[in-house]
A and B are shown apart, each in its own frame.
Chain A
Amino acid sequence: MYVIIDLMIFKFRYFLIFLFLFLFLFLFLFILLSSSIFADNSGVILTVTVADCGNSVVNSGEQCDGSNFGNFNCASLGFNGGTLSCNASCQYITNSCIPASVAYTASTTQIMDFSSGGDFTFDSTNNVLFSFPENFYTEDLKLQAHSYSSSSFASEKPAITGKNFIGQAYDFSFVIPSGSSTNSQVSALSSPVTITMNYSDSDVSGFSENTLAPYRWGASDSSWQLISGATVDTANNKVSFSTVSFSSFGLFGSPTLSPLPSPSSSGGGSGGGGAINVPGIASVIFSGRAYPLSTVTLLKDAQISASTVADPDSNFQIALSGLSTGSYIFSLYGQDKNGLKSTIFTFPVTLTAGATTNVSGIFIAPTIAIDKSEIRRGDNLTISGQSAPLSDITISVNSDKEIFVKTKSNNSGAYLYNFDTTLMDYGDYSVKSKTSLAASISSFSKVLSFKIGARNVETPRLVKKVLKGDINNDDRVNLIDFSIIAYWHNRAKPPAKIDLNGDGNVNLVDFSIMAYYWTG
Chain B
Amino acid sequence: MKNNNLKSKINFYFLAVFFSFLFFVLRLNANAASLNLVSSESEIAIGQEFQVDLILDTDGEDINAIEAKIFFPEKSLKLQEIRDSNSIINIWVKRPKIERSGIIDFSGIIPGGYKEVEGFIFSVIFRADESGRGAVEVKDAKILLNDGKGTAASLKISNFQFILETEFPTKIQISKSKDIDSPELFAPEIARDPNIFDGKWFLVFAAQDKGSGIDHYKVCERIKTTCVIAESPYVLQNQNLDRKIFVKAIDKNGNERIAILPPKSAPRYQKWLVYIIFGAAILSVIILIKWLRGLRYKKIIR
Contact = CB atoms under 8 A, between A and B. Distances in A.
Interface of A: 2, 5-6, 8-9, 12, 78, 80, 100, 103-108, 110, 120-125, 280, 299-303, 323-329, 331, 344-346, 348, 447, 468, 471-472, 478-480, 482-484, 486-489, 495, 497-498, 501, 508-518, 520
A268 to B, nearest CB: 10
Interface string B180-196: 11101111010101011
A513 B147 CA distance: 8
Given A9-B291, A508-B65, A509-B144, A329 B110 contact: yes
Which of A122, A125, A299, A329 is packed against the most chain B CB atoms within 10 Å? A329
Given A486-B233, A508-B93, A326 B210 contact: yes
A266 B181 CA distance: 26
A2 B211 contact: no
B147 A516 contact: yes
B143 to A, nearest CB: 9
Contacts of A303: 186-187, 206
Contacts of B208: 301
Given A108-B255, A123-B181, A327-B210, A346 B93 contact: no
Given A326-B210, A348-B119, A508-B142, 5 more contacts: A5-B293, A123-B180, A301-B208, A480-B189, A483-B202
Contacts of B181: 123-125, 280, 324
Interface of B: 64-65, 67, 85-86, 88, 90-91, 93, 107, 109-114, 116, 119-120, 142, 144-150, 180-182, 184-187, 189, 191, 193, 195-197, 202, 204-206, 208-211, 223-225, 232-233, 244, 246, 255-258, 260, 287, 290-291, 293-294, 297, 301
A300 B91 CA distance: 12
Contacts of B149: 501, 512-513
Contacts of B116: 348
Q: Which 5 A-B pairs have the closest CB atoms?
A: A326-B210, A509-B150, A518-B111, A346-B112, A302-B90
B161 to A, nearest CB: 27
A5 B294 contact: yes
A511 B195 contact: no
Which of B67, B184, B205, B233 is packed against the most chain A CB atoms within 10 Å? B184
Contacts of A103: 224, 244, 246, 258, 260
Contacts of B64: 512, 515-516
Which of A2, A125, A299, A516 is packed against the most chain B CB atoms within 10 Å? A516
Contacts of A78: 225
Contacts of B90: 301-302, 329
Contact of A12 (B93, B195, B209, B291): B291
A108 B148 contact: no
A300 B90 CA distance: 9
Nearest to A479: B204
A67 B193 CA distance: 55
A495 B195 contact: yes
Given A80-B224, A122-B180, A512 B144 contact: yes
A120 B146 CA distance: 44
Contacts of B113: 344, 346, 515-516
A519 to B, nearest CB: 9
A324 to B, nearest CB: 4
Which of A100, A344, A518 is packed against the most chain B CB atoms within 10 Å? A518
Contacts of B189: 478-480
A489 B93 contact: yes
B111 A520 contact: yes
B116 to A, nearest CB: 6
28 contacts: A2-B297, A5-B290, A6-B297, A12-B287, A107-B182, A107-B256, A124-B180, A302-B90, A324-B210, A326-B85, A326-B86, A327-B210, A346-B110, A447-B148, A479-B204, A479-B206, A482-B204, A483-B233, A498-B195, A509-B144, A511-B109, A512-B65, A512-B149, A514-B109, A515-B110, A515-B111, A515-B113, A515-B146
